[in-house]
């Protein structure tokens, strides 16, 4: 029998988790937390909340919790129109050298898609990328280029919809039932452990990719999170969010719509302001 998770239990669990570094999930919506924690408890065979609190004292267990709390992107080049827009609307403006932040790298699919796009536009050697997630295990998997073989056909189909030259297979190799992305393309990616959307104080980025992550937050935390992210966009830089997500109204004056359909925005100002 699984653990019963009502509102009081969710508040108690998230409060306990928040005592530990990079485990503050209190800003997520209750509906999301109920679904996700049920999944985590099933994966980690948690049957009682008291036992969960005790197991949280173990660092490896905490990383497992953070690993399973991540909602992984299920396919590469999801929303092909978005990637076409990045190529046509952003790359010509950003130039040859720019930096990118993935504030919630929950899996490799989104990052690998972007790296393929950089490679095919001859930008792979000059663009610096920071990938961030609370789980060390997940960061290690992505940095090793790991993907599930079962998604290969869908990934390939999405790639072809970009109208690119069909070089898809050259970016991967299959090993031991896993599909590995070409690690050479990850050479300018820096992986770091950190809470989603929390940058270092002095960091600014030319492009921030935060797609389909903000949708799971309650209103107040959603507003706070996006305020923090927008503060770390360089003037004239870009932000991409999910097509079903919205920018908080109090930030709309700071952002110009670049592609409404694909939810791409540009921060007002110029790069060196």
**Ordered domains of the chain (ranges, CATH):** 7-69 (no CATH), 80-267 (3.40.50.150)
pLDDT in the model for residue 14: 96
Contact between residue 108 and residue 202 where contact means Cβ atoms under 8 Å apart = no
Range with top average pLDDT, 124-128, 216-220, 241-245: 124-128
Residue 273 has pLDDT above 70, yes or no: no
pLDDT, one tens digit per residue, over 79-115 is 889 999 999 999 999 999 999 999 999 999 999 999 9
What letters, b where the CB count within 10 A reaches 16 and e where it falls short, cover 147-174? beeebbeebbebbeebebeeebeebbee
Contact between residue 210 and residue 216 where contact means Cβ atoms under 8 Å apart = no
DSSP-based three-state secondary structure for 117: helix
Does the reported pTM lie above 0.85?
Answer: yes
Predicted confidence band at 160 (pLDDT cuts at 50, 70, 90)?
A: confident
Q: What is the pLDDT averaged over residues 154-181?
A: 76
pLDDT in the model for residue 209: 97
Higher pLDDT residue, 77 or 239? 239
pLDDT in the model for residue 21: 96
Predicted confidence band at 149 (pLDDT cuts at 50, 70, 90)?
A: low
Predicted confidence band at 142 (pLDDT cuts at 50, 70, 90)?
A: very high
Higher pLDDT residue, 171 or 177? 171
Residue 1 has pLDDT above 80, yes or no: no
State the Cα–Cα distance between residues 146 and 135, nearest whole angstrom. Answer: 15
pLDDT in the model for residue 48: 93
DSSP-based three-state secondary structure for 130: strand
pLDDT in the model for residue 226: 92
pLDDT in the model for residue 75: 83
Predicted confidence band at 154 (pLDDT cuts at 50, 70, 90)?
A: confident
pLDDT, one tens digit per residue, over 201-230 is 899 999 999 998 888 998 888 899 999 999
Residue 271 has pLDDT above 90, yes or no: no
pLDDT in the model for residue 206: 98
pLDDT, one tens digit per residue, over 10-37 is 999 999 999 999 999 999 999 999 999 9
């Amino acid at each position: 029998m699984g653990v019963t998770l009502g509102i009081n239990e969710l508040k108690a669990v998230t409060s306990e988790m928040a005592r530990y570094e990079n485990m503050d999930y209190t800003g997520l919506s209750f509906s999301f937390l109920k679904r996700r924690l049920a999944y985590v408890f099933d994966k980690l065979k948690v049957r009682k909340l008291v036992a969960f609190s005790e197991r949280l004292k173990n660092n490896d267990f905490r990383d497992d919790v953070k690993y399973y709390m991540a909602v992984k992107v299920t396919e590469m080049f999801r929303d092909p129109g978005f990637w076409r827009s990045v190529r046509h609307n952003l790359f010509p403006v950003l130039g040859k050298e720019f930096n990118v932040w993935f504030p919630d790298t929950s899996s490799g699919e989104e990052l690998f898609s972007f790296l393929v796009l950089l490679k095919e536009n001859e930008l792979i050697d000059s663009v610096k990328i920071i990938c961030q997630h609370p789980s060390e295990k997940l960061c290690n998997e992505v940095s090793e280029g790991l993907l599930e073989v079962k998604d290969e056909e869908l990934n390939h189909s999405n790639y072809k919809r970009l109208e690119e030259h069909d070089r898809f297979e050259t970016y991967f190799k299959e090993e031991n039932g896993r599909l590995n992305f070409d690690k050479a393309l990850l050479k300018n990616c820096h992986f770091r452990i950190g809470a989603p959307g929390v940058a270092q104080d002095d960091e600014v980025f030319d492009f921030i990719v935060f797609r389909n992550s903000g949708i799971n937050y309650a209103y107040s935390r959603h507003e706070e999170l996006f305020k923090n992210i927008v503060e770390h966009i360089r003037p004239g830089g870009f932000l991409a969010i999910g097509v079903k997500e919205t920018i908080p109204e109090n930030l709309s004056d700071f952002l110009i719509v670049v592609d409404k359909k694909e939810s791409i925005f540009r921060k007002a100002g110029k790069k060196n302001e």
